[in-house]
Structure formats: structure tokens, C-alpha cells
A and B are shown apart, each in its own frame.
Chain A
């Protein structure tokens, strides 16, 4: 089974600044087809999760361009540029290479 680990657990951020969340997998998420099977989701307070990034770096429809995903193999990063108050919530990465499994989540809050 592929284990996905996120850090940090909690991330206080200042509006206008940048924030980064790390996601690591126990195995490479690079498929033999050349694509990376890693997605990012955000669950805002009181809401259902929403898709932010798919295939490691592709923004989902309607996602602001201040969100970006990067990385390869087993190490991935979600970066939020110019953080806004509405970006608070719990961020999850999820691998879909073998079955599916989520990271433990990173809670982003405003300082």
C-alpha cells in the first residue's frame, strides 16, 4: 500500500504572503504512462472537499492561479501565493496510482 505523508500538520499564514505544504509518498507516483498520479484537495470550514490540483500540477476548473502544484516521484509541494483569508481550511494530497489514499491533512489558518 502507498502511504502518503503531509507536513506540516498546521500552518499559520499571514495574508499576502506565500505558504507551502509538503506531500511525500512511500513509492513513486510516476505511472508507466509518464503521468503523475497525485491530486490536492481543500476542505474549507463547513464545506465539502474541493479539487484544487490534479496530476501533480494541473489546476482544476475555477481554481485561482495563486495555487500551484509541483514535484515529482515521491516529493510534492502545494504552494499558495498571496494567501487570502478564504484559503483557510484543511489541505489534503491524495495518490491515485495504486487504489487511492489521502495524506493526513494540513490545516491552514490565518495568523
Chain B
């Protein structure tokens, strides 16, 4: 059974850097894309981005200037760093596996992807 677990500080000061790690168990980080999503209080889900196990990334344009993803295949972990945080970055942060669900047009390595396994989420509050 695949499980994802987010970890990191629950409280970050304004202007500092938010750092989170997602540990994957029951599956290898190799071969997949891995995503980050957040849920601000009283709002809807916001996609932050995803990283391939090779290191290829795709970020939400609205956060791109402040966010960096990394992956450690030896530990089956991937991480998120968000710089210059403000209260608006307060949220529950989720990591998720972005899986290949359907091969498209019978073309090798051409798949439709969606987030089919999610972590339980971790609450991060930005406050002094």
C-alpha cells in the first residue's frame, strides 16, 4: 500500500523559508511524478506544482518565483521550499503521487496523469 507522509515545521515566520519533505513508502519514487497542493483556510485547493523523479519540474506560475522542488531518490523523498512567506501562505500542504493512468493513442511513454495517492497533509502557519 502506497503511503505519503509530509513533514516539516508547523510554524514559519514571515519573510522566512517554508521547507517540507514528503516521504514515500510502499512504492519507489522512481518512474513517477510527484506533486504539491495546498489548502488555505476557508479557501479551495491550490496546485503548487510537480517534480519528476529525474528532477524535471512544473510550477504554478503564480508561485514560480518563490518555489523550488527537489527529489532524493536514495531516500524516496521529495521536498518543497517556498521563500519569502507571508500569512497568505498559511495552509494545509499535501503531497501527492501523479500517476500514469492511461496510455494515450498507443504511443509508448505517452500517458494521462492524475493525482491518485495523497498524503494526510501538514498544517503550516506563517506567523511571528
Using a CB–CB distance below 8 Å, which chain A residues touch chain B?
1, 33-35, 37, 39, 41, 43, 48-51, 54-55, 58, 60-61, 90, 92, 94, 96, 99-105
| A37, B104: Cα distance in complex, Å | 12
Assess the A102–B46 pair: CB atoms within 8 A. yes
**Residue from B61, B102, B115 having most chain A Cβ neighbours under 10 A:** B115
6 A-B residue contacts at CB 8 Å?
Answer: A1-B61, A43-B39, A49-B118, A92-B44, A99-B58, A102-B46
Total A-B residue contacts, Cβ distance less than 8 Å: 62
Which residue of chain A is the closest to B44 with respect to CB atoms?
A105
**A35-B112 contact, Cβ under 8 Å, with A48-B120, A48-B121, A55-B102:** yes
Assess the A48–B94 pair: CB atoms within 8 A. yes
| A104, B104: Cα distance in complex, Å | 29
Q: How many residues of B contact A (CB 8 A)?
A: 23
Which residues, 86 to 128 on B, are CB-close (under 8 Å) to A? Answer: 94, 101-102, 104-105, 112-116, 118-121
The one of B105, B114, B118 in contact with A33, judged by C-beta atoms closer than 8 angstroms, is B105
**A102-B102 contact, Cβ under 8 Å, with A48-B120, A51-B116, A55-B112:** no
**Residue from B44, B112, B114, B119 having most chain A Cβ neighbours under 10 A:** B114
Assess the B45–A102 pair: CB atoms within 8 A. yes
| Interface membership of chain B positions 59-83, coded 1 if the CB is closer than 8 angstroms to chain A and 0 otherwise | 0110000000000000000000000
The one of B45, B47, B101, B116 in contact with A99, judged by C-beta atoms closer than 8 angstroms, is B47
Minimum C-beta distance from B1 to chain A (A) = 13
Assess the A104–B116 pair: CB atoms within 8 A. no
Assess the A96–B61 pair: CB atoms within 8 A. no
Beyond A35-B104, A35-B112, A48-B94, 13 extra complex contacts between A and B, CB < 8 Å: A1-B61, A39-B114, A43-B39, A48-B121, A49-B45, A49-B94, A54-B102, A58-B102, A60-B101, A94-B45, A99-B61, A101-B47, A102-B46
